[in-house]
Structure formats: C-alpha cells, structure tokens
Amino acid sequence: MADRREMDLHRSPEDQRMVKLLVAHAEWQLKAKAQKGQPFAPSGPRETVLQDFTRKRMDGDKAAQSDEMESIFLPSAYEPCVRRLSELNKIMAKDLLFETHHRGSYVLLRSVCAPSRNPAVVSVVEDEEGSVLMLHLHHQDRTRDVLELLGEGHVVLVKEPFFKRIPDGTYGIRVDHLPDVVFLPEHDPRVPRVWQSAALPTSADEWKAKGNVLFHSKKYYPAIECYTKALDCQPTPAETHSLKLNRCLAFLKTEQLDAALADAEAAIRTSGPSEKALFRKSRALYDLRRYRDCCDALKDILRVSPNNEAANAQFTRAIARLKEQEHGKYALESLYAEAARLPLPCLDHATYIGPVAVRSSGSRGRGLFTTKPVAVGELLLCEKAFAYSSFEPTSRGSQSIASWINTESSIITNGAQAELFNLTLQKLHKNPSLIPDFNQLHRGKYKSIGSHTDDGTPVVDTYLVESIVALNVFEATLNSRDNYLDAMDRARRNHEPNHQPSPPTYGGLWPTASYINHSCTANAQRAFIGDMMILRATQPLPPNTELTIGYKTPTPCDYAEQQQKLQHWDFECDCAICEDLRTTPNPMLAERKHLQREILSRFQTPSLVEKFSVDSLLHQMARTYLQPAVKVPRLPFWDPLLGLAEIYILLKDPVRAIKAVLRALRSLGFVVDGGDPLARSLHIAKWGLIVEPLVDCWMVLVSCYAVVAPLLKPRALYYAQLTYKICIGEDGSFFDSYRRLLCQRPHLADLAIPLHRVVAEDVERVEVSL
C-alpha cells in the first residue's frame, strides 16, 4: 500500500508532532460537540472577520512555501445530499446550528474576498442578509485556478450545509462531498438580482461569442457556462449544433467525458454526422477507453473523407488500443521509452483482461479466478490505472501534499495516496458513468446509502471513495525493470549507504487487480511500467483457480509480525507459510530466529571459514520445520544458499556453486529434476515461490553450466528469461539487462568461458530451446 500508516506511531520527530496534533484535535472535538445544536451568532463585525482571514491566508501562503506538511482531519463520516434541489428549503446564516448537518435545506452564499487554498479552498462568504461566515470547500480540483473557482463575487449553493466550529477558532460551513456544492454562474436565475451585474449578454450569439473568448483564454469552465446559457436562448438549429460542439470541446478540455460524449451525440442527432461531431465523439470514446466504439465513429468519417489526416492518425491509435484491449498485443519493452518521456508516466495504452474473471471467494469476499488452463509466465492482465499519482519528498523528507487524518479509522493518508484520493474523487465527479463499477470495489466496513439521488443519478460519496482507495490502492515502482537492476546493483555493492535523495513514490488504483486476494505463497506476480500493471502466472494453473498475490513480503520467522502487516485489510493469512508459523511450537520458532541471526552475523564477517560454517547452521535450521520445503517454502534459506554459491564461484568451484543454487531453489518450494553437473537434463517439475533474485540464481547456473555442463546451459537460460518475464513483466529487455548485470559481477566472468560470450551465443539458441 502506498504511504499509509496506522496511528500506532513511532517516536520520530514527525510522529511526535502528529501525536500532539491528535491530542489537540481530540480536545477540540470535545469542546465542539458540547456546542452541538446551538444557534449561530456572529462573533465580530464584517471588517474584523475579513482582516483575520487575510492574516491567516498570508500565514498559510508562507507555510505552503515551506517544507511543513499540512494536516487535515476528516470529520465523522456523513452522507452526501441525494435529494433534488426542488425538495430542499432555503435557509439563511441565522438559521444555522453548530455541529449540525442541515438535512432538507440549502443556503446561497457569495464570496466577499479572494480565497485561499491550503489545501482546502477557503473564503469569507455572506448570505443575502449580509451575515458573514467562513466556507471551507475540501477536495476541489487542483487543476482549476482558485480565483476562477471561488473568486470575489462568485456565488455558490450549498446543499444540506454542515455548520461547525473550525480548529483555528473560527466557524463556518464545511463541504466534503463534491456534489454538495453548486457553483452558480452570474446569470443563473437562482442568483439574487442584487448580486448580478447590470449588463449581461441577451442573445445566443452574444453568449457564444463570450464563451469563445473565454475558451481561447483557456477558461474552460466559464466558457461551458456561457455555451450552456446560449443554448437556453432559443438558438437556431445551426446555432444549436455549433454550440453543442463548442461545449463538447470545452468538456473534453476539462475531462468531463460523459458530458462531451452526450453533446457530440446530440449534435449528430439534430444535424447529422458531421466530421467535426464524429471526431469529437471519437475523442470522448477514446478517453473513456471505449476503443471499439471509437473505431466505429472514425470509420464513419473515413468513409466520407478517406484522406482526413487527423481521423487517420486517430484511427491508427484506436486500432492499436483495440488490439491491446481485446488480444493483449503489446510491445511492452517500448513502454519504457514512452514512460521516460513523461513527468508522470500515464501511458497511452489500453487495459487487457485475459483469462480471468471476478467470482465469489467465499469468506474472502470476491476474487479473481482463471477461466481456462494457464501456463507459467502467461499474461493474465495488463491493466491501465484508473488513477495514478506520484509524490517526491522534499529535502527535509516531509510532504508538500496535505496529510488526511481519519480519526474514525485511525488511519493517516499521505504522499502519493493522498493525491490519488483527490484524483479519484475528481474523475468520478466529472464522469458519473464510472461510479457504479467503482463502487463495486471492496469498501471494508463503510456503509453508504447516499450513492444515488432519488432520480437514479449516481453521486460521489467522499467517504466511500476514501474507504475504497484505502483498501485497493497499490504502491508501485516507476518501472519494475529499473527497480530490479538497481536492487541487484545495491546487492553487488554489498548494500553501501545510499546518500541520494529519496526517490519519488508512486501509487495507483487498478480496479480489476484490486479483486486479487493475498497469499504469502502467491501464484501470480505483478510488475509495473508507469501506470500499467502487468500480471503473470508464477506456476501452471488449471481453470477456476483463484489468483493470489503478496500484499506484503512474508516475514520468515514471526507469525504475529506477518499478521500485523496485513491487519489493515482486516484478515488473517492462512497460507502454508503462515500456518507453519502458527502451528510450530514456540521453542522451535525461537531457535529458528536465533539461527537466522547467527547466519546473518557470520556472513557479515570477512572470514571464509565463518561463512562456510553457515551450511551446518542451515542443517540445524531445517530441523525447526515440520513440513518439507515443497509444502512450506523456507524463506530464511534463500539468501544464505545463494551467498554460498557466490563464494564457490569466487573460489572457481562451479560444481559446488550449482549444488548450492539447486538447494536454494528447493528451499523456495521448487521441485527440480536433474540439474546436477553429471545430469543430462534440467526440468522444473513444480514451480515454487517467485522472488526477484531468482533471475540472479538462474544466471549463476547459466555461468556454471557453461563450464561443467554445457548441455544444461540453454535450459537454464530459458528459465532465467521466463523468470525475468514473470518478475519484470516482459522479456524483450532480458538480454540487455543480462549484459548489464554481468558487467556488475566480474567474478562470474573469471570462469573458464567469459560470460559476455555466453550471452552472444545464447541469444538465438534460447529462441529454439526446449
């Protein structure tokens, strides 16, 4: 999971600061609850409120320029308004009660100053009677200019307002649900006449002209308001067609794809399928990832205008996406270059859902199951993120994004996940057609009846989104290949201290992959290239097999510690590793931990004698297992055995190195037939637990077989490439990565046959190997 911490905080300076905030907030909440139901009474004159806000806004601007992290407390979960506006009664500020959700009511407010944003949009507002108070709008679109959103003189309608005391000592209305606030254009009939300007356009043509000026100034939301008003002014059919297409383009610019598609289709219905209308329809369909429908719209253009360059280019793109979506046809290795060109690698590619389907998984809720026999390494899905974000720590290691604190769930959300939460809210709010499928994702214990209005229109429940994101987000690497190569490079340098700045963290929401349940002995492996998640099988799977991945790396010797890692998802793992830890007597587990620490300490000594003594310790540790490794992978064995293999290579003893590597494979649950230097075959009869250094393991075997068992070398290289494909997601970059790793491991090149020659010989041979 991305950047998420339980409130059982450690004692770092940041944690101590957070503890103080929590204590102060708890005290403030008690005082606020004591005022519940009391009527609103302004605490000072209008000028004083404005001066206090101006001062606090300047202080907030200074804080935003520093490395200090803003912390925002989510109030107790409450539902969005799901009633029609016609069913709500208008109230004034004097009718507001503290700590109260005014169900069945709405209030009209006008901003009387320039707002602030840190991170909520905050302004001083007044009602029609001149009473002033604060308005806090949370989770608003970060891409919109705050003055365009709520500048001085702007009018908003707040449905079922939540009036409360603010921790800074002020009072005001807080809005957490995006549908609960309606931004009213100046010409809206609900805006009181005294708040309107004297001169406004009066004809459709004038409103259109004003909208065009705003559009060309990249003020797309005000332009949409003007085009909408023009459509209310009884335009001619030709004007209606033009206005719909203009507004469609503005909707595309603001990523309101549902609305853009509706306008394009309306223009086609009223005036026929013009090239402009079909092209804008195709753009909306493309961005909604409806690639077959997009291709159909473009075909209609090309039938009439086969030389339309824009339509041909878009058709080529759409056809490529359709092949990806329906057949899984990707040039995965080319995605690295595409990702490298983008500051945030949101790639222009489609989601492929392979031989898998969502089904009931009994007590585990729903899961993802195979629909046909699947081979080891087969592509199960390649999914583009629904939402994707990154976060780069500052020089002090703090955050520039607000930290969201949910006091009910005792969870702090920050970093990439906090940004992801906001992106997801905005995407759903702008495109309601996406809400029903999103709401099917696991939501934990949160229950919401406020997911639709009474006329069936879906609405965004902020707390439901927060719960779904929290339980379904994946922490991601920028790309798995570079992450793997960097890890191998660090291992070669024996974990030298890294003085480089902390790299950015990435997080994403992949809806189909979110259905996959956890197991420490997973049968599928995920990899990343930008916002594309690649999932492959780690063993042959029959039909109707539930797929599993590891949410967290298994803890070798401690059941309680492993379950603690998983408590966020509210389940206990019952895989073979966890069952072994649970059922093994405590004295045996204690001995296993002691031997693991002893093995680590001996490998850290320069003495080869001490390092070779590790072998006897491993034999002792084997006696602490009640089940064979083929049933319960022995995680503490993996690194020491590979370490012994490295030592044998340094001593130019490839035979013993091979035996150590084969033991390492068996410790992970692999059943390997043959493989001994005197054997004539090498075959995996049963695949075991997949870990990234497994590629390194096969590389060692390839190098050693080149010396003592050349007939086995192609098969080992085949398994190396297949394992690389599982761990990295693709194998097109295998040989380039292989060469790079060999350059980092000069002791392997000291064997009788230089490894750079081995690679050159086997590039073609692996294509025709077993």
Q: Where do the domains of the chain lie?
A: 14-191, 204-331, 340-418+431-549, 638-770
Task: Give the bridge partners for 509, in sequence order.
Answer: 387
Give, to the nearest 10 degrees, the angle between helix 275-287 and helix 309-327. 30
For position 488, what pLDDT does the model report?
A: 72
Weakest mean pLDDT among 186-190, 392-396, 580-584, 623-627? 392-396
> Which structure tokens are listed for 67?
């490395």
> Which structure tokens are listed for 632?
């319960």
Weakest mean pLDDT among 43-52, 246-255, 346-355? 43-52
Please give the Cα distance from 55 to 153 (Å, whole number): 20
- Centre a 10 Å sphere on the Cβ of residue 523 and count the other Cβ atoms it contains: 22
- 481 in Cβ contact with 728 (< 8 Å): yes
209: three-class secondary structure by DSSP: helix
Taking the CA atoms of 723, 724, 725 and 727 in sequence, report the sign of the dihedral they define: positive
297: left (phi over 0), alpha (psi -120 to 50) or beta: alpha
- Position 160 confidence tier, pLDDT thresholds 50, 70, 90: very high
Weakest mean pLDDT among 57-66, 303-312, 425-434, 500-509? 57-66
What are the residues whose beta carbons fall under 8 Å from the beta carbon of 551, sequence distance 6 or more? 1, 518, 565, 566, 569
> Which structure tokens are listed for 481?
């290949």
CATH homologous superfamily for the domain 340-418+431-549: SET domain (2.170.270.10)
For position 10, what pLDDT does the model report?
A: 32
> Which structure tokens are listed for 295?
């291709």
Amino acid 224 reads I
- Centre a 10 Å sphere on the Cβ of residue 332 and count the other Cβ atoms it contains: 21
Is it the case that residue 743 has pLDDT exceeding 70? no
Strands, E assignment, 142-255: 155-159, 162-165, 171-175, 181-184
List C-alpha distances in Å: 295 to 37, 261, 302, 349: 58, 15, 10, 15
> Which structure tokens are listed for 255?
């990523």
- 412 in Cβ contact with 17 (< 8 Å): no
For position 104, what pLDDT does the model report?
A: 96
684: three-class secondary structure by DSSP: strand
Taking the CA atoms of 560, 566, 570 and 575 in sequence, report the sign of the dihedral they define: negative
> Which structure tokens are listed for 613?
């003594």
> Which structure tokens are listed for 442?
């696991």
- Position 32 confidence tier, pLDDT thresholds 50, 70, 90: confident
- Position 62 confidence tier, pLDDT thresholds 50, 70, 90: low
Instruction: Using DSSP bridges, classify how beta strands 411-413 and 100-101 pair: parallel, antiparallel or unpaired.
Output: unpaired
How much is the pTM? 0.88
- 190 in Cβ contact with 106 (< 8 Å): no
For position 497, what pLDDT does the model report?
A: 40
**DSSP letter string, 437-491:** HHTTS--TT---STTB-TTS-B---HHHHHHHHHHH-EEE-SBHHHHHHHHHHHH
Secondary-structure class of domain 14-191 per CATH: mainly beta
Residue (of 343, 684, 727, 286) closest to 550 by Cα position: 727
Query: What secondary structure letter does DSSP report for 479?
Result: B
What are the residues whose beta carbons fall under 8 Å from the beta carbon of 68, sequence distance 6 or more? 398
For position 401, what pLDDT does the model report?
A: 55
Residue (of 551, 550, 405) closest to 466 by Cα position: 405
Taking the CA atoms of 419, 536, 731 and 663 in sequence, report the sign of the dihedral they define: positive
Q: 204-331: what fold?
A: 1.25.40
